[in-house]
Structure 1
């Protein structure tokens, strides 16, 4: 029996109108460790960030993320200012974010490793919503 400790990966997102880009970034984040913890933005946080409510409620979005085999734990992210608290609360060894956030979380490198992943090209929730509206 080894003394190795499970490596925890933490990531955040809104995950509204779930699409293959969401799945791929979560699978790639999970590959950085042994357990993937996902912070799903609350409805209020999403509205503050994007100026519109999400299509699906925080409960529905959390349920979808929780059902994925690559995800071990889900919580609601209530504030962008609490990232350091979430990193510590969930014992993250590595924070993984999409590269559209590149450099914006480097200040947490004293708490855990920080990695940015390229997003899946040619797909975004906004694009999916626009396509549905047409």
Structure 2
């Protein structure tokens, strides 16, 4: 398989970055040369956080932090790929297929908006995926607007599904078809998970009652960032 190099800062990871990595992965194994803070020049997000995010993308084979954008180390690349090399439709968000993996694990579902995607979301997915195959059910645009008000969501449901579904800890990402705080009820009925996991911010009586009625294990996780990283929230990042 060809060795493909992508060299960039990947500051404030967005869907266009994921599209680049996905398309590059169709050409071979993707190795990212991630620009250090010094090379990136005062990035919004520090190198440790950017490294954590890019390492979590399912299309990436390896990530190396560099001070020189051409420093491949021991790698012998066959191709160098950048956004300028690929004709990408910024409004095209393919539905990520289910992540391959062993069968027979418990099914775990989480729900949420995941509007401004950040390292806290990835950390939550990483922790929950240890309980079983992770299915993420995201709020549809109309329901997010109903619950959070005008101006929400910042990113459309197809783009949010694409971002979440690109993370290697996620088995599959679905768009909810229901309404209210339990807008994922139709998807949960179809998936038939064993566990419904939330973080402390997402713990609600409606969810506890739903799990009790449907015989699901309800797990509440503490909202803690990856060691060494800043605690993030989409609300705070809206003005970042």
- Does residue 91 (structure 1) correspond to residue 192 (structure 2)? The answer is yes
Provide TM-score, normalisation by structure 2.
0.49
TM normalised by structure 1 equals 0.84
Greater relative contact order (Cα < 8 A, sep 6+): 1
Q: 2:224 aligns with which of 109, 116, 120?
A: 120
Structure 1: 5+ residue stretches without partners: none
Aligned residue pairs total: 127
Q: Give the structure with the higher percent helix.
A: 1
Larger mean CA deviation between 64-73 and 98-107 belongs to: 98-107
Deviations 1:81-116 (A, max 9, x none): 444443321010000011123352222134210001
1:47 to 145, 153, 178: 145
Gap change, CA 1:82 and 1:60, over 3 Å in 2: closer
Deviates more, 1:113-122 or 1:61-70: 113-122
Q: Which protein shows a greater Rg?
A: 2
Q: What do you get for the CA RMSD once the two structures are aligned?
A: 1.9
Unaligned runs of 5+ in 2: 1-102, 226-230
